[in-house]
Amino acid sequence: MTGEGNETNESSRNECKGDSSTTGEENIAMKCALKGDAQRFLQCFEDEDPFKDTIGQLMNERNVHGKTPLDVAAVLGRTDMVKELLAKGIEVNQKTSTGWWCPF
């Protein structure tokens, strides 16, 4: 393999498939929720993934709009992503700064 191929491979591991209008501020869990990329989300838990040590925290973080990846995936109908977030233990009782939460 050449170094160029490795860069492309590494770049694809840090992103989710598809094209969406993200601000660039979203973490990998939020990007996967926005794009419905449950497969990439699951890869974050693998030993060789750069997000392995932080994905548990990242999947519970709120974005600048106060939404978690679970909120976004549920609203967008990304059922596979919702299932994987729940299976991986996302905090389901988090409230936003205004007191709202996603009742499951």
* Domain ranges for the chain: 3-16+25-87
Half-sphere exposure of 99 (CA within 13 A, CB side): 0
Give the Cβ contact number of residue 28 at 10 Å. Answer: 24
| pTM summary value | 0.74
Per-residue burial over 56-88, b = 16 or more CB atoms within 10 Å of its CB, e = otherwise: eebbbeebeeebbbbbbbbeeebeebbebbeee
Question: Chunked in runs of 10, what are the mean pLDDT values of the chain (104 residues)?
Answer: 43 49 75 97 97 96 90 95 96 79 64
Position 84 scores a pLDDT of 98
Q: The tokens of 8 are what?
A: 């492309």
Position 81 scores a pLDDT of 98
- Are 48 and 10 in contact, with CB atoms under 8 Å apart? no
Instruction: Find the radius of gyration of the CA atoms of the chain.
Output: 14
